[in-house]
Each structure stands twice: as structure tokens, then as C-alpha cells.
Amino acid sequence: MEMQIKTPSSVLDGIELGIGTWAWGDRLVWGYGNQYSANDVEESFHAAIDNGIRFFDTAEVYGQGKSEKFIGQLLPSINEKVMVATKIMPFPWRLAKNALRKTLAASLKRLGLKKVDLYQMHWPMPPVSVESWMQQMTEVYEEGLISAVGVSNYNLELTKRSVDALQKKGIPLASNQVEYHLLERRIEKDGLLDYCKANGIKVIAYSPLAMGILSGKYTPDNPPKGTRSAHYNKGILEAIQPLIKLMKGIGLDHEGKTASQVALNWVICKGTLAIPGAKNITQVEQNAGAIGWHLTEDEVRKLDESSEAVGKIISRN
């Protein structure tokens, strides 16, 4: 009998915006405990719920488990049904056949859940093959411990191999979570975005604000601190100013939307699910205002062109 494939990406259908929770507990990159506190995380969580956000993205490694723990502690305080997506990091020492099951069990414990809505491979990493990981995903899916399988940072070839491996058991690949924003558009050029769209695989756009850079608040005179400053140096901050100006101008034509909201709406207009991170109520509320409206085709084209031009300057430097 031929295997029936379930409707691809059904669990993520219709979701345009979620919230990324890497910063919730992460000191190293985001400065948790210094710039913002557990109280800010709690307030951000409730602001997300109050503003209609129902998709939370986390990972076992975020804050070494703190991000999942926060979500686990906060979920019982709400009545709304939310979707929780988490990830396994396929560290090279995770060689055992039940490595994924054990890692998932620890995530479920921190999250206080019996099942996660989406379980994602965080990065491709040797030596265990994609096919072996998908086999382990199949097992926990069939046991009802996860509702959908996703991957992250997988290129076109690895995505196709994941689809093939899952297909043998009639399980769809629900998503591929990749970096995608106005300053990172590789997936448009290497065929990944088109492939995912054609095969019902939701692209989850991570760092949709380019780690806050596309908010426009960072300038050559006011660069971000810490590790972000290495990635987005003064030259880049200089080069993106025409794009930021365009985004602000377009925002004004949409009843005063901000650059961040325009950046997120652009990602959504491309058919992907945006998961901006947020450290406080203000950021959550602003990011939630990225949905409920759409940029025009002409505005998307103008942003495409400006981001191409900026990309050329950045790659020359």
C-alpha cells in the first residue's frame, strides 16, 4: 500500500509571526542578567500572549536550558494554547541511537510538556548522518512526543535528504529555520526558498531584524556592544543607512510603522515565518505590530533593490 503523506507543514499554516527566545537567559551574546532580568522575560512573555503571539521558538542550548525553563515556568500561567518549538544540537558526541530521545526528554522536562509542537535539528553537524537523525525523529514522532519535524541551518541538499528520509515513513518535513532578513538573502539565490515553498516546508526566518540592526537604532556612532559588533561593524552600519532611511520612509506611509516593523513585514511578505527576539515589553509590542497589514508589491521591490545595493557595498568592503 502506498504511504499517505500528511498535508505538508500543516502545523505552521497561517502563522506569520512568532517570538524567538534565544535571549531569554543568554548572557554571552545578549547580556541577560545585565541589561535585562527574569522580570523582563516574564513581562515579555505575557506581552507576547496579550498581543496575539502564539508561536515560541527556543532551543536546549539557549542560556544552557534557561530559555526552555522560562517557558516551562510561564506556560501554566496562561489559558491560551500556544505552539512551542525547540531544537536539539547534534553534538558530535551524541552517537547513541537514542540520543535524540534522551535530549528531547530533557527539553520536555524543562518545558513542563508531554509533547512539543515542532522539534528541530539545530545545525547540521558530523559525524551522525542526517538520515540517522531523521530516523530518530520518526521514532519520537510516532510515539507522539512531537507534532512535527523541522530542521535548521540546512542547505538545499540536506533539506532534500531530510525530506526523503522522512517520506519513507509518510512524515512531512514541516520547516527549515534559517537566517533570513534584508541583509541576508542567500536562500532566495541558492534555490532553498523556492524548494521549500514548492514542497510545503515553512521557512522560519531567524534573526529577522539582523540581531536588532534593522531597527535602525544602531549607527556608526552608536554600534551594538559585545559579539554583535564584530558581525555588524562600523563599515556595515555606515553602508545600511540608505536602507534604514527607506524603511523608515515606507513605515511612515503605513500609519507610522517603525523600521523594525517594516523589516519584519518584508520577511513575512516573502512567505516566511518571522521569529524576532525581544527583551522587553516595548520590543514585543512593537514587533507584534508587524502583522495585520502588508507592504505593497512596489515597496517590497524597492526594499529588495536597496538591500541588493547595500549587499554589494558590504561584500566589496
| Among 293, 173, 315, residue whose Cα is nearest residue 236 | 315
Residue 206, beta-bridge partner list: 179
Closer to ligand NAP at the Cβ: 68 or 299? 68
b/e per residue 222-254 (b: at least 16 CB within 10 A): eebeeebeeebeeebbebbeebbebbeebbeeb
Residue in the structure block whose three cell numbers are 503571539:
53
119 classed as catalytic: no
Sorted by sequence, the CB contacts under 8 Å of residue 305 that are 6+ apart come out as: none
Closer to ligand NAP at the Cβ: 162 or 260? 260
3-32 residues in contact with ligand NAP (CB under 6 A) are: 20-23, 30
Quick note: the x/- pattern for ligand NAP over 223-262, rule CB under 6 A, is: -------------------------------------x--
Single out the residue of 9, 176, 286, 306 in contact with ligand NAP (rule: CB under 6 A): 286
Single out the residue of 9, 136, 283, 307 in contact with ligand NAP (rule: CB under 6 A): 283
The answer to the question of residue 277 lying near ligand NAP (CB under 6 A) is yes
Residues 122, 88 contacting (CB under 8 angstroms): yes
Quick note: the x/- pattern for ligand NAP over 151-170, rule CB under 6 A, is: -xx-----------------
| Among 102, 34, 19, residue whose Cα is nearest residue 67 | 19
Quick note: the x/- pattern for ligand NAP over 124-153, rule CB under 6 A, is: ----------------------------xx
Single out the residue of 70, 141, 180, 206 in contact with ligand NAP (rule: CB under 6 A): 206
Q: How far is CA 225 from CA 44, 220, 252, in A?
A: 22, 12, 29
259: Cα separation from own chain's centroid: 19
Segment contacting ligand NAP by CB under 6 A, of 105-113, 126-134, 206-214, 246-254: 206-214
Residue in the structure block whose three cell numbers are 517603525:
258
Q: How far is CA 262 from CA 97, 151, 290, in A?
A: 45, 27, 7
The answer to the question of residue 63 lying near ligand NAP (CB under 6 A) is no
> How far apart are CB 140 and ligand NAP at their closest, in Å?
19
For residues 68 and 254, give the distance between their C-alpha atoms in angstroms, rounded to a whole number. 36
79, HSE (Cβ side, Cα atoms, 13 Å)? 0
Residue nearest to ligand NAP (CB): 20
> How far apart are CB 258 and ligand NAP at their closest, in Å?
7
The answer to the question of residue 209 lying near ligand NAP (CB under 6 A) is yes
Please report, as ranges, the residues that interact with ligand NAP according to CB under 6 A: 20-23, 30, 57, 122, 152-153, 177, 206-212, 215, 217, 260, 275-279, 283, 286-287
Tell me the catalytic residues.
Answer: 62
